[in-house]
Structure 1
């Protein structure tokens, strides 16, 4: 008995064959639009975050716990996405004549390598008080920013190869790019006001001024400490609200992007 393949069967087979490619796009969108952007923003603007009078959680600074968690999620999803596309292509590299996909694969390969380097540096970083800690700090910062900035053109390039809903994806990604610029500007403004509050505290309690992202010297008198913290509290909560808003906006824009990917 011979079996025949109907057009419906062919369509199902084609969708199944593209499943890993769609999964690749899904996890990469989540990794770089949602988690990586949140990790970068927290590392830059979240260091003075306090909840009430607490600036630590489970023995570590709040900003560090959040940064480490979302950065880890971004790295894991990036590696998972790389695995998915390897399965889809059976381990073969994209041919150079497939221009957009080839450029996307090169940029994506750089991003995966940078993500691995970031993870390796984080695992073997020296003590915060170490003599060469500043080297790690700069390498970690530059590698993270390079990887994040490369993720945007990497997504734009592959969108150019889409046959359907290309305009919709370009619009959504453009909105997200504009949003990142906007939230950075707003957070910079908030940090300026927070810096002013910190300077007021430091001028009152000791002559030396601390850097913006270092904890201020707080007078150990209970009443004075409460007054000092009350000056900064509104800015901490504004920063937290902005972080939450960024996460929600990123999710809201990532969802339609993922839906469009699975409609290809």
Structure 2
């Protein structure tokens, strides 16, 4: 065992392993005496918090390959990292370290108290047996003298559990298989809670559909209408100019992809609109729904296009062009906001794609 006794210790490799708690498929949280088990990620978390107590005990277990890994336990108000308290159990060169951090968002979290890395934590221990890291600690629910300390005696929090690697003694960005409770947990009362492994599959499907719709279909459709009237003047499809037929097909397909993407992401969040507390996601959703609406209007405009000699044709051209430019501008903003959404974990790749596309357009 790594009997931390506050912060760190060493281990004996020939220790007899304790039996693993069976991993179930459903998973659940139980306050008072409660536990959480997961099938895919092999997480096991157990809590013991009697009503009226000033602290709660936690045990976390996760399969990790040494060396230099960590297991993190976060208290969050909105399921997204930022303004959250995190207990991090580190394994560095067979030495266990338990520390208390505070996260401000998509940056490396800082110690809650640099002068006392394990502030609010007692009876800490870490063990590593047969590929499984186990961390135990007792956390004070509230310490008034420590700024930014998450008060679990009064406030309710979502529980986040993540894993990752350590480089140079600094924890790195965690993986995508983050365990998140489905609802806030009341650490001062008995109750049963469920949780899920945060899966970004539908979110990424949404992003792929939107990228195809706006970075390929719409961009190509605009280029065809702008330049190919003169490049391929003799090519016709069904007695109509090639550029027009291709432009029309692409612009009709774009809102179809967009609506499909909208339904996919709506299903991912349980058919509910994104919470206003998730500021970037909420703003992204507003821009997105406006863009989808304008793209549908643009297609309707196209079907109502007057003949070349009609007196209203100049007005149509102005409205069609203005709505198109406005729509693609808002779409660019929505795409950039999408890169900022933390759960997508796009990083530099997302920025590279967006900047390259913007320069090309």
Output the TM-score relative to the length of structure 1.
0.60
Structure 2 segments unaligned to the other structure (5+ residues): 1-21, 26-36, 42-176, 180-195
Which of 334, 339, 350 is residue 169 of structure 1 equivalent to?
350
Q: Give 1:34's aligned residue.
A: 216
Q: Give 2:281's aligned residue.
A: 101
What CA deviation, in whole Å up to 9, does each residue of 1:133-165 have, x standing for no partner?
A: 111111111111111111112111121122534
Which of 203, 209, 229 is residue 21 of structure 1 equivalent to?
203
Distance 1:26 1:135 in 2: 35
Shift of 1:71: 1.1
Distance 1:48 1:133, change over 3 A: same
Shift of 1:33: 0.6
Shift of 1:177: 1.2
* 2:171 matches 1:151: no
SS of residue paired to 1:129: coil
Number of residue equivalences: 176
Which of 12, 15, 24 is residue 4 of structure 1 equivalent to?
24
Distance 1:59 1:133 in 2: 21
What CA deviation, in whole Å up to 9, does each residue of 1:64-83 have, x standing for no partner?
A: 01111111221211111112
SS of residue paired to 2:231: coil
In terms of fraction of residues, the more strand-rich structure is 2
Shift of 1:107: 0.5
Give yes or no for contact 1:25–1:81 (8 Å, CA) kept in 2. Answer: yes
Give yes or no for contact 1:104–1:157 (8 Å, CA) kept in 2. Answer: yes
Larger Rg: 2
Question: Would you identify which runs of 4 or more consecutive aligned residues in structure 1 move more than 4 Å?
Answer: 10-13
Distance 2:235 2:208 in 1: 34
SS of residue paired to 1:37: helix
Distance 2:219 2:346 in 1: 25
Shift of 1:3: 8.8
SS of residue paired to 1:95: coil
Distance 2:308 2:264 in 1: 37
Q: Give 1:49's aligned residue.
A: 231
In terms of fraction of residues, the more helix-rich structure is 1
Which of 238, 263, 269 is residue 89 of structure 1 equivalent to?
269
Q: Which has the higher contact order (CA 8 A, sep 6+)?
A: 1
Distance 1:109 1:176 in 2: 21
Output the TM-score relative to the length of structure 2.
0.45
Shift of 1:96: 1.6
Structure 1 segments unaligned to the other structure (5+ residues): 181-264
